[in-house]
Structure 1
Amino acid sequence: MKLMKKTRFAAGCAALAAIVLLVGGCAAPEASDRAEADMTKMSPEELAEYLVFETNSFRHDMEAQEGGTVRQRMVQDDMEKVCSQTRNQPSPEQAGKIIADARASISYPDGGIRLGDWRKGGELSWSGFGFRVAHNVDDHSQREVGGNCYNCHTMSPDRPGGNLGPSLTGYGKQRGNNEATRRFVYEMIYNPHAYFPCTNMPRMGANGIISKEAIADIMAYVLHPDSPVNQ
């Protein structure tokens, strides 16, 4: 994303995954496009890159909400390249640089890290609104960008959540609302690579996806004792 900074698919991307992506989200390539190359002779990586970038089945010249084009959104930054090349297992030296760069990227709110509105944080945690392109471009002037936390985490017991990330149910009840906990949660949302290099969790603050105010609201949803997360 740069919502969650889309990878270029070329490193370690299976051909089947690329085909599913193409069929599920884009129009199939024209016959003339398919005739330009013999896909049966491509490696999985070559096929993935060909399908995504060269068949004109998806408009990569479309403007993205964060600036630039969709094609530019798919270009990996240095950290993403390292994580792809190492299959998310960076060497100690690489991991140290990722952590240092992530820590340097974190910007803290004026006046210190405080909790916002947990009710609003619950709405933002549930919302995946933000940076879609193609036929359904998100209008940020009409609605605030969400954090989409429930896509990966179980949070409030009354709502379904994902299991890609750890469960956050009862997190505030277990960890408390102290300065150390607030700092850790803020930094994890802002740039989780400061703690877990090559994690799957997106850099919501560092990539400018959500604001510091939104982070404070989501933190409140996770930590505040009145939040349904902690009941």
Structure 2
Amino acid sequence: MFKKTTNTPVIAAATALLLVTAGCTATGTGKSGSANAEAEALAEQLVFAADGFYQDQPTQEGTTGRVRLTQDETQKICSAVARNGKRIDAQTAEKVRSLALASIKYPEGGIKLGDWKKGRELAWSGFGFRTAHNPDKHETREPGATCYNCHQLATDRTGGSIGPSLTGFGKQRGTGEEVLKYAYDMIYNPHASFPCTNMPRFGANGLLTEQQIADVMAYLLDPESLVNK
């Protein structure tokens, strides 16, 4: 019997590969659940017991690759929702939202905008937290926010389309207290507004500092920012 773990992100990918490799032998036999269970068990064996992945790889946050693979409560809940293939129900959504709200720490003195030019550099940077053979060295360059990977931002450059366009974000919404709080919460822990979203928890996971969040917010909201021109 394989040792049970809670480290499921890589297992999920390995399981999918194993199921494809094995073919659709369970189709129409009523044994798909059993096939999935066997594939998950084999995936655990390959990933953890057989050291199929370099789990001792040091990470910039001072832990290891194995720690990164260990899901927290929010990830476990959202993974279960994804496996079921259904929309998140109201009770589960409220649980995820409550966990998110409890994680958010607000700046002393209130939420304020930083430097939009620094925010621009952060928003268009994908640097940081990569390991393996060529790890990102945070002591020589600060991690970016990778906003461009999912969002269109200012029109002088081309961003992604996975998430909604943020062009004109501040021009449309202003910089009132409610808007500042919404933007801060979305960057810090977006599950507070959209339970089980795919957007990273930049503040809650320590990917961005308080000042970096303020700078990215300025890029989105400051009237002088290219986002709002």
TM-score bracket for this pair, using the shorter chain length: 0.7 to 0.9
Counterpart CA distance in 1 for 2:184 and 2:71 is 25
Contact 2:104 2:188 in 1 (8 A): yes
Counterpart CA distance in 1 for 2:18 and 2:167 is 32
Equivalent in 146, 149, 152 of residue 150 of structure 2: 152
Structure with the bigger RCO (C-alpha within 8 Å, sep 6+) is 1
> Aligned residue for 1:10?
11
> Aligned residue for 1:71?
66
> For each residue in 1:60-79, what CA deviation from the matched residue of structure 2 results, as whole angstroms up to 9, or x when unmatched?
11111112210110111111
TM-score where L is the length of structure 1: 0.80
More displaced stretch, 45-54 vs 78-87: 45-54
Contact 1:99 1:194 in 2 (8 A): yes
RMSD between superposed Cα atoms in Å? 2.6
Give the partner amino acid of 1:227: S
SS at match of 2:220: helix
Equivalent in 53, 59, 64 of residue 58 of structure 1: 53
Q: Which has the larger radius of gyration?
A: 2
Any gaps of 5 or more consecutive residues in structure 2? 1-6, 21-34
Going from structure 1 to structure 2, the CA distance change for 1:46 and 1:165 (only over 3 Å counts) comes to farther
Contact 2:11 2:47 in 1 (8 A): no
Counterpart CA distance in 1 for 2:184 and 2:164 is 16
Counterpart CA distance in 1 for 2:91 and 2:13 is 22
Counterpart CA distance in 2 for 1:174 and 1:138 is 36
Any gaps of 5 or more consecutive residues in structure 1? 1-5, 20-39
Matches for 1:43-122 after TM superposition, within 5 Å: 45=40, 49=44, 52-53=47-48, 56-87=51-82, 89-122=87-120
Counterpart CA distance in 2 for 1:18 and 1:119 is 48
SS at match of 1:182: helix
Q: How many residues align?
A: 206
Counterpart CA distance in 2 for 1:216 and 1:66 is 21
Question: How far is 1:56 from its partner?
Answer: 3.9
Going from structure 1 to structure 2, the CA distance change for 1:230 and 1:100 (only over 3 Å counts) comes to same
Extract structure 1 runs of 4+ deviating beyond 3 A: 9-14, 16-19, 40-58
> Aligned residue for 2:31?
none
Give the partner amino acid of 1:15: A
Going from structure 1 to structure 2, the CA distance change for 1:80 and 1:17 (only over 3 Å counts) comes to farther
Give the partner amino acid of 1:68: T
TM-score where L is the length of structure 2: 0.81
